[in-house]
Amino acid sequence: MQNKSDDFVVPEPPRLDRAVIDEWLAHFPELNGLDDPVWYKVLDSARPVEIPAGTTVFRDGDGCQNYMFVIEGSVRVQKMAENGREIVLYRVSAGEACILTTSCLLSHQRYPAEGITETDIRAISIPVARFDEGVAGSAGFRAFVFSSYGQRITDLILLVEDVAFGRMDIRLGQYLLDAVDDEGNVAGTHHAMAAELGTAREVVSRQLKEFERRGWLKLGRGVIKVSDLAALKKHLSTPL
């Protein structure tokens, strides 16, 4: 998931020790137990990587030079249009790899979106040459790569379906239910919510005001207070 971006460059730390390898494989059990010479070459090339929160790991148009296995933290992958609108495509969390990285490495294309660390990240990085060798020569590693790739493709198709055909009041209501804390608060700006939902900020603001008019929530600066959670849930189950 790394490239030649000015924001982040994979360093050259020492090889992994046994404890780090065990932690890595605990997060990626599909790789545990692989026993072939090509996999051992991949394993030997792996390096630990730590990336601070708020770092741009790759930009739209960057080339990809490494494949990463996230073992701690979260990376937000998003696409921004020329008019400034953006959509969050997915997140890469512990135990996951990035579908765009896989796609770029397999197709030798550049990144079509950007990835930004939401938290401090700990990951394992392998160079593109070893990735290519692993896919070509290790059946177990190849199975892992394509299995994780296929799962993410399904997630993206569901996202496209949701954005293209889903009702905004239902999608926004579900977002609020997923994000609300124990005290009934949802933190975040209208812009951030619009990015999550793949729509314009004005659309989100208009729908939130309608929810407020119905008495379901109270809008504030940077926070929303959900005042009638039951009514919001009922709307999602029986939309008007």
Domains defined for the chain, CATH in brackets: 2-164 (2.60.120.10), 166-237 (1.10.10.10)
| 3-class SS of residue 121 | strand
- Encoded tokens for 240: 């008007």
Q: How far apart are CA 238 and CA 211, in angstroms?
A: 15
pLDDT at 5: 45
pLDDT tens per residue, range 128-170: 999 999 999 999 999 999 999 998 899 889 888 888 888 999 9
Helix, strand, coil share (%) of the chain residues, nearest 5:
45, 25, 30
Higher model confidence: residue 4 or residue 48? Answer: 48
- For residue 83, what is the DSSP state? T
pLDDT at 162: 87
Indicate whether 196 pLDDT > 60. yes
204 Cβ contact partners less than 8 Å away, ≥ 6 residues apart: 172, 190, 193, 194, 197
pLDDT tens per residue, range 95-129: 999 999 999 999 999 999 999 999 999 999 999 99
pLDDT at 7: 61
- For residue 33, what is the DSSP state? T
pLDDT at 237: 87
| 3-class SS of residue 131 | helix
